[in-house]
Structure 1
Amino acid sequence: MNKFVTNLLLAGCWAALSGSFSVFSLLVGFVLGFLILWLLQPLIGGAPGYFLRTYHWIRLIVMFHYELIVSSLSVVWDIVTPRHRAKPDVIEVPLDVTTDAGILLVTNLISLTPGTLSLDVAPDRKTLLVHAMFAEDPDKIRNDLKNGMERWVKEAVET
């Protein structure tokens, strides 16, 4: 049986045993189910792909929220201070993500981050045009996007 479905069933069982089908109870049940499946992995066999993918998704979510907070503070600081640091530019970012879901997720996460906006994906799906509000060093922006957002999405979606 699929480990994710088993994990959902364990979360439902936990909620039933605790007598509360709240979001918090289901979340606690999901975490406990995950830990149980991880501990039982040597007995039930199978590849550890589910656990690795879950780790990559959690890391993607946490790191996106970190980037969201940092970039929001940067934009707010630029707005409230008298000296504006914004040097906008359009940057070409080569894409390593190959799946439709991965490209869609990368472009949307970049657009959701304040100070950046995904403009277009090249027809060959190898290049992404990004408008950056603080583009003093386009190579640094390109490197940050490749080694940050795109890498996290690629690990979560394509592994």
Structure 2
Amino acid sequence: MKRRLITYMALPVVWCLVSGYVTIGSLFLGLIFGMIVVEPFSKLYRLDEVVHPTGDWLAKIPKKIKYFYVLIKEIIKANIVVAKIVLSPTINIKPGIIAVPIRAKTNIGITGIANTITLTPGTLTVDISDDQSILYVHSIDATNPQGIRDSIRDDLEKYVLEAFE
């Protein structure tokens, strides 16, 4: 079974969950919207590859669930830190751009870690090196660049690598 077919079968379900309506029309609309949104990214995510429902594909489902759990936890923690910065009477921060070496080698792994960083409040992936080994990350408080690098490597990238590479 090709990844494209699996993706196209999942998108109407996601659309129904988001919209709150489970009808034939809603499923059809989710399929149409999904096809329009996913098609430009089909080469990046290798949607024409054949996926066998055994082996690596099934084994990564628990790792992907763990990744999403860690992502939600990190987003909540970062929201609290950003809220403390914003609500403090004096803002004592030093924003900056930090070079973060990454271990991800595939396009989906690199995209996953870059998007994970961007989803976390207070950080934003702004660029990637030509050899795709370093992400440049803007941080709202770059007073401890090594701590940010370690946090990305240990708290985020580890789970992206397990789930998507």
TM-score range, shorter chain: 0.5 to 0.7
Q: CA RMSD in A?
A: 2.3
- Correspondence for 1:156: 163
Selected match of 1:56 from 55, 63, 69: 63
Q: Indicate the percent of aligned positions where both proteins have the same amino acid.
A: 30
Paired residues for 1:12-27 under 5 Å:
none
- Structure 2: distance between partners of 1:66 and 1:85: 25
**Matched residue of 1:96: which SS?**
coil
Structure holding more helix per residue: 1
Could you state the TM-score of these two structures normalised by the residue count of structure 2? 0.65
- Correspondence for 1:84: 91
Cα shift at 1:84: 1.7
How many residues align? The count is: 120
Cα shift at 1:48: 5.4
- Structure 2: distance between partners of 1:106 and 1:86: 25
Selected match of 1:120 from 78, 103, 127: 127
Higher Cα Rg: structure 1 or 2? 1
Q: Deviations over 1:28-63 (max 9, x none)?
A: xxxxxxxxxxxxxxxxxx965345311110111010
**Matched residue of 1:131: which SS?**
strand
Could you list the structure 1 runs, at least 4 aligned residues long, displaced by more than 2 angstroms after superposition. 46-52
Q: Deviations over 1:99-129 (max 9, x none)?
A: 0011111111111111001010011101110
- Correspondence for 2:16: none
- Structure 1: distance between partners of 2:141 and 2:62: 31
Selected match of 2:74 from 67, 75, 93: 67
**Matched residue of 1:93: which SS?**
strand
**Structure 1 unmatched ranges of 5 or more:** 9-20, 23-45
